[in-house]
A and B are shown apart, each in its own frame.
Chain A
Amino acid sequence: MKKRDLILTLVSLILLFVFVYFADAYLDSYKVRILNLCAIYVILALSMNLVNGFTGLFSLGHAGFMAVGAYTTALLTMPPLVKAQNFFMAPLIKPLDSITLPFLPALLIAGVLSALVGFLIGAPALRLKGDYLAIATLGFAEIIRVIFTNTQSLTNGALGLKGIPVTTNLWWSFGIAVITVILIGSLINSSFGRALKAIREDEIAAESMGINIFRHKVLSFTIGAFFAGIGGGLLGNLLGTVDPLMFRFFLTFNILLIIILGGMGSITGSIISAFIITIAGEALRFLDESITIGSLYVPGIPGLRMVVFSALLMVVVLFFRQGIMGTNEFTWDKLFDRLQKKPAAGGGSN
């Protein structure tokens, strides 16, 4: 990395730091919540993009990994007294009922556990390809949800968990989002990442180049699951409550929408798009609600907002298949080129 770029990157990080500081101090809790969600969706989108965008595996199992992460973090951070209150149907199994860990180790364990589940699912499922893989991962996510609904003494079943310490704040969510961007970014630019892209472009060619396809796929899937678990953990400890119904296919759909809008295979795209989708999701609330403009009363149509979102996905897939960024990334070079009104160097946009 050039010295100039390094300095610029550091300056932007400091600016982000300052932004978070002021946002944390001065914004109201509603805006803070939305920003938190934005950052969490950045993490989730990146983890899904690693698998779907960079490796070219079409996985629809994200909600399952998030569930594992969210439940693990919640169970590890809840104080024993709250656990006892929650588990009034059947007591929580030992030794979970008396363990309380700080947030960071809990989150890391959640990530590792999700990764483990990801590995166990990936090892058999990744032998499948294309739409079969999609439907199998979707199936695994549903199986995880059904299991969580039925294991009363581990997850409290349908009652879910309530009173989870609300630890997630802007420092946590943005901090981890930045770390995720850096980690996945350097992973993509390593030889490992290049191998993943080679697999995405042409599996058979990649294999003949000596890349162990299966190993790379499983590893990518496992790393994706790790970050999905972390994102799930942050989400659970932001809401203060989780239950199995949260982790339906709809959640995966949201993240899919983000990476497709941002561009499959672009980290920058995922980040931008996570913010757009999350903020637009709130901003478009007016579609569902009645509003009065002057003397004109417009009755709201509940559900219209979701129509807009699903239509948006269709429009992007049909007409702008590359999304916002395609497979391009933001670099300082391109920014300067653009500022000097020169065509972006090597920017292979269509």
Chain B
Amino acid sequence: MSLGTFLQHLANGISLGSLYALVAIGYTMVYGILRLINFAHGDIFMMGTYFAFYGIAVFTLPWYLSFLLAIVLTGILGMMLEAGAYRPLRDAPKISILISAIGASFLLENLAVVIFGGRPKAFPTPRVLTDVVHIGSISIQNLTFVIPVVTIGLLIALLYLVHNTKAGMAMRAVAKDYETAAIMGVNVNKVISLTFCIGSMLAAVGGIMWGLKFPQIIPLLGVMPGLKAFIAAVIGGIGDIKGAVIGGFVLGIGEIMLVAFLPELTGYRDAFAFVLLILILLFRPTGILGEKIAEKV
């Protein structure tokens, strides 16, 4: 493999990885607080993309306004999802919550089929973002520079929120032990609702970036990115925001390099992520950054 080709692969990997990282942050946030795999996260992501699409293509809003609106709407949708599907089950066995999550995921997908239609739609892309820069023999889309900046920016904002604000402190308290937090006067429902809101807004940002990079949207759009982002979050250490970013890059670059170095295995690309997930779960279940948590009796 020539150096140019390798660098191109690397650029592709970073570009894909930053997208995974972006979606994984939202995933990991919800998990960190609730210890719940939010199966519907991928579908929230999909809804965010559709909201942005309708803003631009149907209501002809300027793209920045439409993006902003989509992010807010998706945040509200996330809070509704939490209130409807998860809050009633807060004291139920974990399995029930997980089933509810799967149900919510299918419900959102099927609603999207009915409301938006099953046929793919073309996501409108502002030219500024899709133009290509050539560096030597490497071609890189402008968007590829934007996504990591957005990801890192959101990461810093989120870290600040969690570690330096009152709401963040409440979140950490709920994550540690929500019963004690409740006794100490933290409004647990409000904190969890806020977490879902932020997580869903992050999903919407991810969805919009995804739509810009892969401008073809369908109701099942969120399934694979959702799973991949979850895997990224596990790789990095689920519940850890920085870990999610690292996991996203590891997964994205790993996927691309698999195809680059073992082209005959391209058909197995989707399996690669799952193999990685299973290996991590078996040998280092807490991921790269996670700490070992003793199981509660």
Residue numbers of A with Cβ under 8 A of B are: 52, 56, 58, 124-125, 127-128, 130-132, 134-136, 139-140, 142-143, 146-147, 149-150, 204, 253, 256, 260, 264, 301-304, 306-307, 309-311, 313-314, 317-318, 321
Contact = CB atoms under 8 A, between A and B. Distances in A.
B95 A301 contact: no
Contacts of A142: 270-271, 274
A58 B98 CA distance: 9
A134 B274 CA distance: 13
Nearest to A314: B103
Contact of A317 (B37, B94, B99, B270): B99
A146 B118 contact: no
A135 B230 contact: yes
A303 B114 contact: yes
Contacts of A310: 103, 106-107, 109-110
B24 to A, nearest CB: 14
A134 B96 CA distance: 13
A264 B110 CA distance: 25
A306 B106 CA distance: 8
Interface stretch (B51-59, B85-93, B123-131, B205-213): B85-93
Given A56-B95, A58-B95, A311-B107, A132 B102 contact: no
Contacts of A314: 85, 100, 103-104, 107
B274 A124 contact: no
B113 A303 contact: yes
Contact of A132 (B88, B99, B285): B285
Contacts of B96: 317, 321
A263 to B, nearest CB: 13
Interface bracket on B: 35 or more
A46 B210 CA distance: 40
5 contacts: A124-B282, A130-B94, A131-B37, A309-B106, A314-B104
Contact of A134 (B37, B89, B111, B282): B37
B277 interface: yes
B297 interface: yes
Interface in B253-297: 267-268, 270-271, 274-275, 277-278, 281-282, 285, 297
A139 B278 contact: yes
Contact of B114 (A135, A139, A143, A304): A304
Contacts of A136: 277-278, 281
Interface in B184-216: none
Interface of B: 36-37, 85, 88-89, 92, 94-96, 98-100, 102-104, 106-107, 109-111, 113-114, 118, 230, 234, 267-268, 270-271, 274-275, 277-278, 281-282, 285, 297
B282 to A, nearest CB: 6
Name the residue in B92, B99, B107, B234 with the highest tally of chain A Cβ atoms < 10 Å from its Cβ: B99
A19 to B, nearest CB: 33
Contacts of B89: 317-318
Contacts of A317: 89, 96, 99-100, 103
Given A131-B98, A140-B274, A204 B297 contact: yes
Given A128-B281, A136-B278, A303-B113, A256 B102 contact: yes
Contacts of A321: 92, 96
A125 B278 CA distance: 8
A302 B89 CA distance: 31
A147 B113 CA distance: 29
Contacts of B282: 124-125, 127-128
Given A128-B281, A136-B278, A260 B99 contact: yes
Nearest to A133: B281
Given A124-B278, A130-B98, 6 more contacts: A135-B37, A142-B270, A142-B271, A143-B274, A309-B110, A310-B103
Nearest to A146: B271
B277 A307 contact: no
A140 B282 CA distance: 13
A56 B104 CA distance: 22
B103 A307 contact: no
A124 B94 CA distance: 22
A28 B230 CA distance: 47
A278 B113 CA distance: 22
Given A136-B278, A260-B99, A146 B267 contact: yes
Nearest to B101: A131
Contacts of A140: 274, 278
A149 B107 contact: no
B102 to A, nearest CB: 7
A146 B268 contact: yes
Contacts of B106: 253, 306, 309-310, 313
A75 B282 CA distance: 33
Contacts of B118: 302-303
